[in-house]
């Protein structure tokens, strides 16, 4: 776990709804801070500063946010992109307490023996397919790891695989993902080629990462507005909506 402190200064924001598109044209990202069920705090920040903080923090590292003369320890909950321009359009922060346990998606990486940059299987010209790149972890903001690792030296022969249960888990960290979920598997190159041919050979790397088809520049403002009207964050909103019966009008 890194001890690097990520800091970000934001300004309070008065512009809401579709009018925020003017902020984006000026290189400013609209954002919101959900603070433990209190009223949402509308904020904004210079694009490069916000983007840099996100690239360093992801959704698993706390960010020291200063806004409106107050200091917050916050996690990035959601981040919206313009699917055509590939630019960040909106960020939702969730304020957390120092001793509060939270859940976050933490990246998973292979760990090799000293001097190696590949697993034994890859050194033998086999292929290792990554099935899982992140796992859900529960920890306090101060103990949340930046990444979790597995021993890639165990990947030797075809069929060898690593599961979530094989991860190297630091103290005070709880894994919430299914322990039986497969992280990486060793395959024979010829078998993968045959499977690809059987599927028509149309698969391209990255196809599975396509953005949702209903996300368009026209409805970005609508989804942004919805997030900003949810005190305490999206999860709290959904929990409350499920526990209350519909009102008759």
* Neighbouring-strand partners of residue 120: none
Is there a domain that residue 107 lies in?
yes
- The answer to whether residues 173 and 120 touch, using CB atoms and an 8 Å cutoff, is no
Q: Are 17 and 89 members of one domain?
A: yes
With 70 as the cut, is the pLDDT of residue 100 above it? yes
For the residues 117-138, what does the mean pLDDT come to?
Answer: 95
pLDDT > 70: what percent of the chain?
79
For the residues 179-198, what does the mean pLDDT come to?
Answer: 87
Is there a domain that residue 235 lies in?
yes
Rounded Cα gap, residues 202 and 97, in angstroms: 48
Is there a domain that residue 205 lies in?
no
Domain that residue 160 falls in = 102-199
Query: Could you tell me the two tokens for 110?
Result: 């292979």
How many residues are given for the chain? 249
Query: Could you tell me the two tokens for 129?
Result: 């397919």
- Find, among 134, 127, 123, 126, the residue nearest to 167 by Cα: 134
- The answer to whether residues 145 and 137 touch, using CB atoms and an 8 Å cutoff, is yes
Number of domains in the chain: 2
For residue 227, what pLDDT is reported? 62
With 50 as the cut, is the pLDDT of residue 218 above it? no
In 124-248, beta strands by DSSP E = 127-130, 134-140, 148-151, 161-163, 174-175, 182-187
What's 178's domain CATH number?
2.170.120.20
Please write the tens of the pLDDT for every residue from 10-26.
Answer: 999 999 988 998 999 99
Q: Are 146 and 223 members of one domain?
A: no
């Amino acid at each position: 776990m890194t001890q690097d402190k990520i800091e970000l200064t934001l300004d309070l924001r008065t512009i809401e709804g579709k009018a925020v598109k003017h902020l984006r044209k000026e290189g400013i990202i609209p954002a919101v801070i959900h603070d433990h069920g209190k009223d949402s705090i509308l904020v904004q920040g210079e694009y490069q500063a916000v983007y840099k903080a996100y690239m360093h923090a992801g959704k698993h590292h706390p960010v020291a946010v200063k806004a409106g003369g107050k200091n917050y320890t916050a996690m990035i909950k959601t981040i919206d992109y313009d699917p055509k321009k590939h630019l960040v359009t909106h960020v939702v922060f969730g304020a957390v307490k120092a001793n509060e346990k939270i859940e976050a998606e933490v990246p998973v990486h292979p760990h090799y023996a000293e001097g190696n940059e590949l697993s034994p299987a890859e050194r033998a010209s086999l292929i290792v397919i990554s099935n899982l790149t992140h796992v859900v972890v529960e920890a306090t903001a101060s103990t949340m790891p930046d990444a979790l690792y597995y021993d890639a030296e165990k990947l030797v022969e075809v069929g060898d695989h690593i599961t979530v249960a094989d991860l190297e888990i630091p103290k005070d960290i709880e894994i919430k993902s299914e322990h039986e979920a497969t992280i990486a598997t060793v395959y024979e190159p010829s078998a993968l080629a045959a499977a690809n041919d059987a599927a028509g050979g149309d698969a391209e790397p990255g196809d599975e990462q396509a953005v949702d088809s209903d996300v368009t520049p026209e409805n970005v403002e609508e989804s942004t507005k919805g997030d900003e009207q949810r005190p305490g964050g999206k999860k709290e909103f959904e929990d409350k909506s499920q526990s209350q019966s519909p009102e008759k009008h």
